[in-house]
Amino acid sequence: AQSVTQPDIHITVSEGASLELRCNYSYGATPYLFWYVQSPGQGLQLLLKYFSGDTLVQGIKGFEAEFKRSQSSFNLRKPSVHWSDAAEYFCAVGGTNAGKSTFGDGTTLTVKP
Amino acid sequence: ETGVTQSPTHLIKTRGQQVTLRCSSQSGHNTVSWYQQALGQGPQFIFQYYREEENGRGNFPPRFSGLQFPNYSSELNVNALELDDSALYLCASSSYLSGGAGDTQYFGPGTRLTVL
């Protein structure tokens, strides 16, 4: 069975500081990994995805993530956080069909001025 | 291109009633997936429809059912509502090619269902 763990329920960072959100997954085959962001009252927006190739993936809004197979991790990073990044972030794992993904329970990001 | 839309935005029902939620896929997409997102949790996969046929189902009882229409819009029906069905219901459309990779899901804003 596939699963995703996001160990940090809530993270607070100062504006301009760096950010790392953790994600650990369990999947029986080659995983396809995703990070989504959800703002209040809105649906999920894809930040980035990993299917194969380079283990460092660049996404939108200045985010990147690194796939580490040996650690079963896919952590999301941003070098300098903006106040508008405050939202809920979800990591997900699946196979070739992204529509059947398994999501973690999310990390809430608060940005201090 | 138009995005994924869902209706209604909010809905209040009482236990035992039935509800139908609607989703219009993004133009050109042939696949729709439905998710249930309870408060404080991540989305849970309910089922997927591909070219009007169910194409996989998560751990949800049969009282959760769906339809996909020739224009690829979709409905989620829930019978005999229970209090635990209160959640945000999200639909996502994609262009799934069987055996392929790289498809991206585009999510709608969701329908907030409250069961009293």
> Mind listing the pLDDT tens digit for each residue in B47-79?
999 888 998 899 999 999 999 998 889 999 999
Mean residue pLDDT across chain A: 92
CB-based contact B48 A97, cutoff 8 Å: yes
3-class secondary-structure state, position B84 = helix
Strand-pair category, A64-68 with A56-58: antiparallel
Place of tokens 């952590």: A75
How many residue pairs bridge chain A and chain B with CB atoms within 8 Å of each other?
68
CB-based contact B40 A32, cutoff 8 Å: no
Give the CA distances from residue B40 to residues A18, A90, A106, B21, in Å, rounded to whole numbers and listed in that order: 25, 11, 8, 22
Q: Which residue of B has its CA nearest to A91?
A: B42
Mean pLDDT along residues A106-111: 97
CB-based contact A103 B104, cutoff 8 Å: no
Share of chain B above pLDDT 70, in %: 91
What is d(CA B33, CA B19) in angstroms, rounded to the nearest whole number? 18
Query: B97 pLDDT band (50/70/90 cuts)?
Result: low
Selecting from B4, B33, B40 the residue whose C-beta is nearest the C-beta of A99 gives: B33
Predicted local confidence at residue B51, as pLDDT: 85
**Three-class DSSP labels, chain A:** CCEEECCCCEEEEECCCCEEECCEEECCCCCEEEEEEECCCCCEEEEEEECCCCCEEECHHHCEEEEEHHHCEEEEEECCCCHHHCEEEEEEEECCCHHHCEECCCEEEEEEC
Please tell me which residue, A61 or B103, carries the higher pLDDT value.
A61
What is d(CA A36, CA A21) in angstroms, rounded to the nearest whole number? 12
CB-based contact A32 B92, cutoff 8 Å: no
Tens digit of each residue's pLDDT (9 = 90 or more) over A20-41: 999 999 987 778 899 999 998 7
CB-based contact B90 A44, cutoff 8 Å: yes
Mean pLDDT along residues B6-10: 96
**Maximum distance among all Cα pairs of chain B, rounded to whole angstroms:** 43
Residue A104 touches partner B, C-beta closer than 8 Å: yes
